[in-house]
Amino acid sequence: MRILTAALICFIIASASYSATVESIIFGSSGLPNYSLILILLSTYLMLEGIYSIELDRQQQSASRRDDARKHLRSYEPQKEPTVEADNSEELEDLKLALRDSEEKLRTIRREAQSAGNNVDAELVNFLGVLQEQGRFVDFLMDDISGYDDSQVGAAARVVHQGCKEVLEQYFSVAPVYDGEEGEQTSLNSDFNTSHYRLVGTAAGEPPYSGTVVHKGWRTTKVSVPKVSNTGTSREQWEVIAPAQVDVA
């Protein structure tokens, strides 16, 4: 802009040496410079200079705003997933090995838990088999006694009672929960053990409760049920309470 303005002024002055009309405009009839024209040219130069400065400032501000906008947009760009470098390959292998080891331990724990549950089932079935063997317990319960008279049922019950009592005393030590006698009056305070005493009838309000002992309850002081392992055996083997008997002639 400055170069164009200077070139215009030089052009006008140079034209004065070739054109009498231009010379008269610039210097007048007296041969002296026309100061009004000089002021006009100077004002024009200053105005163009101001316009140029304003336009330059506007362009600089626009460029600054574009740079700020680009920075703002880059701050919202999604972060790229970190790439695994070659020097992290050993760490990844260690993690994979640890994961496989944890999965194997979890499978082992599951197998052991399942085996423990099966062992409990096998022990219960085995104890029921002992009651059957020594007291005919399962036979007595599974038989239809509606066709027998009371004397026959009583005779069978005596055998069951004797055999099952022997098994109970062999594997358990049993004692009453309530040390007194049935039919006695007793009082239960607010801190009574709900696993030792069961309230029957209508219990209104808050303890203490007073009532009659209708059953003194039972508890074990020793349990020695034989342990049974079903390891290496199928369910069809340990689920048998008592095998079928065949009399071979």
CA 52 from chain centre, in angstroms, equals 67
Q: Write a three-state SS string for 106-145.
A: HHHHHHHHHHHHHHHHHHHHHHHHHHHHHHCHHHHHHCCH
- Cβ pair 136, 159 in contact under 8 A: yes
pLDDT tens for 131-167 read 999 999 999 899 998 899 999 999 999 999 999 999 9
- In percent, how much of the chain has pLDDT > 70? 64
The domain ranges of the chain are: 2-75, 119-187+211-238
Nearest in space to 217 (alpha carbons), one of 173, 171, 182: 182
Please give the pLDDT value at position 29.
52
- Cβ pair 135, 163 in contact under 8 A: yes
* Dmax (CA) of the chain: 166
**What is the pLDDT averaged over residues 193-207?**
86
- Cβ pair 172, 222 in contact under 8 A: yes
- Cβ pair 203, 149 in contact under 8 A: no
- Does the structure show a pLDDT above 60 at 45? yes
- Does the structure show a pLDDT above 50 at 59? yes
- Does the structure show a pLDDT above 80 at 120? no
